Amino acid sequence: MIDDPCDRCEEMMQPYLDGVLSEDEVRAAERHLEGCTWCAKRYRFEERLRHYVRVAVSEPMRPELKAKLAALRTPLT
Amino acid sequence: MSESASPTAESRRLAQEARDRVRFEEEALELSDQVYRVARRLVGSREEAEDLVQQTYERAFRSWRQYTAGTNLRAWLLRILTNLNIDRGRRQQRAPQTTSLDGELGDYFLYNRLESTAGEENPDEERVLSRLSQDAIVDALAEVPHDFRDVIVLVDIGEFSYADAAQILDIPIGTVMSRLHRGRRILKKNLAEKAVTT
């Protein structure tokens, strides 16, 4: 059982950012976030972190591989 | 009507098929950057990722007729890639048992840890985030066990839905959600250990 509203908000953070909460749950989370800078800061951090991780681990494909893949196409007759 | 198509109908059908095939190949190639980015984090090295992506496209171009036009082509390609990755000897790991430590770490854990060791009062989120270097993030993700990492890579890096990730990995959607939940916590634990000390 979760009594502390900040604990409840922490539990809702991942599903909130994943966009899988119901409308009622989203409203409940946002009501809490409006009044709680402590949780709001952690939500903002999590959102930034996700973006930061995505960018940090993104390694572009080398042009050599791109050329190899293009060469796999069926030749036009 | 005769059973066999007339020569004209047959040549029209072949011409249509050739056009469909060209379109399929072009659409698949347009997704190659995105496929590679996901592949690169599913395996340990650039060479492995490149081999895997090449094999994926070879197989996809051979079996293009099995793709249903209008469905998610990127997910279809990743499904092939994941299967090839397993065929290559990557054993499906059994999910490790939850340790008591993982259970105790809430979703605010990383922030709390980074903030409390930041060496300044009430730092902003950017300042807290700047304690994580790019290398630390890459290593922290690589050290997450396969089963959990696959889901993180597909959902958080590849931006696939839970449903697509479930289909790609051939696991129930509930398993995607539970692995994602635990995987993100393991990733955060790894990140906390690699944070730059200030």
Whether this model's ipTM surpasses 0.85 comes out as yes
Sign of CA dihedral B185, B188, B192, B198: negative
Contact residues, chain A, for B41 at CB < 8 Å:
57
The whole-number average pLDDT for the span B36-63 is 96
How far apart are alpha carbons B38 and A58 in whole angstroms?
Answer: 8
Least confident of A22-36, A39-53, B84-98, B128-142: B84-98
pLDDT score of B120: 77
Interface of B with A (CB under 8 A): 18, 21-22, 25, 29, 32-33, 36-37, 40-41, 46, 50, 53-54, 57-58, 61, 106-108, 110-111, 125-126, 128-129, 132, 134, 137-138, 141, 155-157, 159, 162, 180-181, 184, 187
pLDDT digits (tens, 9 = 90+) for A4-48: 889 999 999 999 999 999 999 999 999 999 999 999 999 999 999
pLDDT digits (tens, 9 = 90+) for B144-159: 999 999 999 999 999 9
